[in-house]
Every structure is written in C-alpha cells, then in structure tokens.
Amino acid sequence: MGDDPLGAGTDSAAARLLAALGGRRRRGIRRTRRTRPPHRTPSAEARPPARGAGEARADARGGGSYYQYVDESGHVRFAARLDDVPERQRSTAGHISVAAPTAPRQATRPRAASAAQEKATRAEVVLYTTESCPYCRRAVAYLDKIGQDYVNKNVESDEDARDEYLKLTSGRAGVPVIVVGEKWMQGWNQAKLDELLADSR
C-alpha cells in the first residue's frame, strides 16, 4: 500500500494540536508550596531577665530592690521589675528590698603635736616690744610658729607698758623683753626662750 499524504498531514497536525494543548495545560497549572513560618526566638526585651544568685548578691551589695519568683520548671528566678516577671508568676512574686551597706568608719588617731607646738606652755607669756625692733618681730614670729599664746605690749605707744618694762629691767633699756610665768629674758635668744618655756610647763 502506498503512503497517504493526506493522512500523514492530518496526524502531524493533530500531534501539533495536542502538544499545544499540553503546553497550555502545563502553563495553566500553578504549583504552591506550603511554607512553614520562620521560627522566631523571643527578643531580649520579651524575655524576663532570669538572674542567678550571683546577680542577686550583687544587688544586695549595691542596695536596691528586685523580684523573686519560681518559674514553671521550679527554678528560682530574679527580675529587676515586676513587668519582667512572667504574668503567671506575678501574683506569687516576692518583692525584696536591700539597703546599701554603709562603709565602716575608720578610727581616727589624734594628730601628734609637732615638735614646735610641743614647746608651747600654758603659763602666761608677755612681750614688751617696739615697732622698729627686728628682734621683736623674730620673737613674735617664733611664738606664732609654736602656737604659743602671748600678750604683746608696745613700750613706745603704751605708757603703762613702758613703766612695767622699765620696772622689770630696773631701767635697763633693750627690747624685746619676754616674760614667761615668773621668769623673764631681755633680747632675742631662741634657745633661752625654749628653756624658759620648758621650765614653765
């Protein structure tokens, strides 16, 4: 039997039609995939800050307050605020206040008197001086240095002081005149003055 050119053409046209329909069906099919929502971990703000005993001791050392509660697994937890405690445990959370410890006071030792201040005496000390006398100024400066109380009398401007001074020295001129208790000296000599102060203590 010879080839049928019409039949062959019909078969090829039908094949092309079926191929076209198949492509349209494939293009019309939508494939959807079920995707799982991404796993989200609670943020640091959402989690109640679980604090251990070490942090609680730190709070105790620094003072302040915190909340203590028992979580669902039976563990003791600590939170800085009540809002940080899980809602189920808020009704049973305990509020703890810790006062900051006061630093111990160190005993203060009395300051030892300086060697210069130890030379002072409780006896009455009187100076007879003049404004222009450099040795008088040295005597005044030394008594100030050792912290000695004294009375300074100017024999130039005070007539009563001049009479006392001349009576004490039997009319012998010369300043300063320093009276310590019942003893006195005329002129400036630091070693002599220290001796008078020591004898009067």
Give the integer Cα–Cα distance in Å for 169 and 148: 23
Tell me: do 94 and 122 sit in the same domain.
Answer: no
Whether the CB-CB separation of 119 and 197 falls below 8 Å is answered with: yes
Domain with 179, as residue range(s), is 117-200
Tell me: do 131 and 158 sit in the same domain.
Answer: yes
Q: Domain count of the chain?
A: 2
> For position 137, which CATH number holds?
3.40.30.10
The DSSP annotation for the chain comes to ----HHHHHHHHHHHHHHHHHHHHHHHH------PPPPP-PPPTTTS-----HHHHHHHHHH-EEEEEEE-TTS-EEEESSGGGS-GGGGGGPEEEEEPPPPPPPPPPPPPPPPTTGGG--SS-EEEEE-TT-HHHHHHHHHHHHTT---EEEETTT-HHHHHHHHHHTTT---S-EEEETTEEEES--HHHHHHHHHHH-
Tell me: do 85 and 121 sit in the same domain.
Answer: no
Domain edge (last residue) among 39, 69, 98: 98
Q: What is the pLDDT of residue 31?
A: 53
Give the integer Cα–Cα distance in Å for 19 and 27: 12
pLDDT tens, residue order, the chain (201 aa): 444 444 445 556 666 666 665 555 545 445 555 555 555 544 444 444 444 444 444 444 455 677 787 888 888 888 888 888 888 888 887 877 766 566 656 555 555 556 666 888 889 999 999 999 999 999 999 999 999 999 999 999 999 999 999 999 999 999 999 999 999 999 999 999 999 999 998
Give the integer Cα–Cα distance in Å for 157 and 14: 149
Q: Is residue 12 part of a domain?
A: no
Tell me: do 85 and 141 sit in the same domain.
Answer: no
Q: Is residue 175 part of a domain?
A: yes
Tell me: do 155 and 94 sit in the same domain.
Answer: no
